[in-house]
Structure 1
Amino acid sequence: MSTDKPLPFIYQFAAGAVAGVSEILVMYPLDVVKTRVQLQSGKGVGEDSYNGMVDCFRKIVRNEGFSRLYRGINAPILMEAPKRATKFAANDEWGKFYRNLFGVTKMNQSLSVLTGATAGATEAFVVVPFELVKIRLQDRAQSHKYTGMIDCVTKIVKNEGPMTLYQGLESTMWRHILWNAGYFGCIFQVRALLPPAKDRKGQILNDLMSGAIGGTVGTILNTPMDVVKSRIQNSPKVPGQLPKYNWAWPALGTVMKEEGFSALYKGFLPKVLRLGPGGGILLVVFTGVMDFFRKWRGDQ
């Protein structure tokens, strides 16, 4: 993603880890609210239902306590380091692969989209188990079954089998392919359109703007897949019973048929509020850490 000289993988990994953990510590409550709204299949009527982001925030804090907004954060904290590191490292490595494959010396818009999509598919393999545990802990109806992350993993493996931890892999791949294609593609385009930064402050502002726009576009593209992914991963395996939500595209059709097209964008507001600004935070921290490493190595 950077226009500077690529650093070895270990530096990309470390920068991605720091950026990811920084973003999640700031934005995690919005993820809890997003998941609660996405898992709700009916209208937000009554104390156990939510009719929007603000109502969900209010009812969680009032009925379950403020700390519930951070329920399940251990799983994504453990996930964010390898997830973000994989995202940025895979994006750089796939970028080099495609440039060599097509004989292109510099990244362009088409290659940015292709590279981001491929990096997203790569990233999905890393995050699926963490995502499933996080979803189970965030859901109000299921969270009481587990005392924490380790207990959740243990019970899932014992009661549903170890491969259940990879339930929703297909929908997760689609979610990450769409988000990363939009995110990295937009970053490239927006950076090209913005006036060149004259100093470090200007560079930070450019990174915040391009990252936020990229995060917003990625969210618009992938929210329907995020909705069905949440429902697929929140469906416990029952012997002899086919889950209502199983594969991504049929699940999209089921949601749209039963609840209307708008249901595919449930949780969009808290998601975009997290991943829009979060995308900016992510890019600024990642770029800053990479610049630190370059300076430390004497590459600047």
Structure 2
Amino acid sequence: MSHHNVSMSVNVAAGGIAGVTEILIMYPLDVVKTRAQLYAGKTNNPGIVGTVSEIVKANGVKGLYRGILPPILMEAPKRAVKFTANAFFKKHFTGSDGVLSQTGAVLSGSCAGITEAFVVVPFELVKIRLQAKENLGLYKNTSDALTKIIKQEGIMTLYTGLESTMWRNATWNGGYFGLIHAVKSAMPKPNSEGQRMFQDFVAGFLSGTFGTMLNTPFDVAKTRIQNQLPGTVHKYNWTLPALAKIYSEEGVKALYKGFVPKVLRLGPGGGVLLLVFNFAVRFMSPESAKH
């Protein structure tokens, strides 16, 4: 939960630390999630264990971290924007009585997610191109992928999927920060640092899981949109038509492809994110611990 009484620089630093920590721990599940979302049609995907085995067999353990550089480069600004923007919008949605309503918490989170989308889209596109199984021979590494995408498709290609990313981030952040507000409001005031950290993790875990339940269909559409290569017929363009097409061709279950690895990442990952963020804020700004 963003702190009102700390400086923007502390929010930025704490958000960056929290984001990088979360991705270093949870990243392999993101690779598995992306692979699952790209199984089009009725093709059966091999599941988490099968996908991990397939990746390790083909590329070794390092294959589970393929494409990690864009997220690492993205995580600090992404999480910093997330928490800083959420703190900014919370001030605007707080009532004249100084109380943030549940609706205000959801709206501030959604607005933060939309703001965050503008930062993350280029990194997300490069990451997905690197993670996709069918692209393994196309790009050697992050810099090679970035160079080829710009040279072959134009620099604006890096913003392909912006609209779908806004849908995805608005729903996740709205659900995440909205539920954090509800859960933390229902919890007793912590009487020790250990209890405070436990409450942060539980609130973040539940909220990360809830946000993932809300936004997975938008994430599937985003992944499909961003992995369309030059010289191919682009099947997906805008989010809602893409969702309708996936549903009509593959059924409702396809809208939740990759849900298990995604929720296994973003449930605990949401807990890690909130715990590390709040701990970092209290460490860098001890005064905040009094509020």
Q: TM-score range by the shorter chain?
A: over 0.9
Q: For the Cα contact (< 8 Å) 1:113–1:184, is it kept in 2?
A: yes
Matched residue SS, 1:243:
coil
CA positional deviation for 1:143? 2.8
Are residues 104 and 167 of structure 1, via their aligned partners in 2, closer, same or farther at CA, if it must alter by over 3 Å? farther
Which of these residues, 231, 251, 261, is aligned with residue 260 of structure 1? 251
Q: Which amino acid aligns with 1:187?
A: I
Which position in structure 2 is the counterpart of 1:285? 276
Which of these residues, 84, 89, 96, is aligned with residue 94 of structure 1? 89
1:183 equivalent to 2:183? Answer: no
CA positional deviation for 1:97? 2.1
CA positional deviation for 1:43? 4.3
Whole-angstrom distance in 1 between the partners of 2:52 and 2:132: 14
Q: Percent identity?
A: 52
Whole-angstrom distance in 2 between the partners of 1:8 and 1:171: 31
Q: TM-score, normalised by structure 1?
A: 0.93
Whole-angstrom distance in 1 between the partners of 2:285 and 2:66: 37
Whole-angstrom distance in 2 between the partners of 1:298 and 1:272: 30
Which of these residues, 104, 120, 125, is aligned with residue 127 of structure 1? 120
The alignment yields a C-alpha RMSD, in angstroms, of 1.7
Are residues 53 and 80 of structure 1, via their aligned partners in 2, closer, same or farther at CA, if it must alter by over 3 Å? same
Whole-angstrom distance in 1 between the partners of 2:116 and 2:58: 35
Q: Which amino acid aligns with 1:113?
A: V
Which position in structure 1 is the counterpart of 2:15? 16
Query: What are the ranges of 5 or more consecutive residues in structure 1 without an aligned counterpart?
Result: none
Deviations for 1:76-134, whole angstroms, at most 9, x for unmatched residues? 000000000000000001111222xx535121211000000000000000000000000
Are residues 174 and 161 of structure 1, via their aligned partners in 2, closer, same or farther at CA, if it must alter by over 3 Å? same
Any residues of structure 2 matched to 1:36-51 within 5 Å, and which? 36-44=35-43, 50-51=45-46
Which position in structure 2 is the counterpart of 1:68? 63
Whole-angstrom distance in 1 between the partners of 2:32 and 2:289: 44
Whole-angstrom distance in 2 between the partners of 1:237 and 1:163: 13
Which position in structure 1 is the counterpart of 2:79? 84
1:225 equivalent to 2:214? Answer: no
Which of these residues, 230, 234, 239, is aligned with residue 243 of structure 1? 234
Matched residue SS, 2:78:
helix
Whole-angstrom distance in 2 between the partners of 1:298 and 1:57: 41
Deviations for 1:171-224, whole angstroms, at most 9, x for unmatched residues? 000000000000000001011122221101000110010000000000000000
1:140 equivalent to 2:133? Answer: yes
Matched residue SS, 1:107:
coil
Moved runs in structure 1, 4+ residues, more than 4 A?
296-300
Deviations for 1:138-178, whole angstroms, at most 9, x for unmatched residues? 00111321111111111001100110000000000000000
Which position in structure 2 is the counterpart of 1:54? 49
Are residues 200 and 298 of structure 1, via their aligned partners in 2, closer, same or farther at CA, if it must alter by over 3 Å? closer
CA positional deviation for 1:267? 0.3
Whole-angstrom distance in 1 between the partners of 2:74 and 2:234: 26
Q: For the Cα contact (< 8 Å) 1:128–1:166, is it kept in 2?
A: yes
Matched residue SS, 1:184:
helix
CA positional deviation for 1:70? 0.1
Q: For the Cα contact (< 8 Å) 2:184–2:203, is it kept in 1?
A: yes
Which position in structure 1 is the counterpart of 2:196? 203
CA positional deviation for 1:263? 0.3
How many residues of Structure 1 are paired with residues of Structure 2 in the alignment? 291
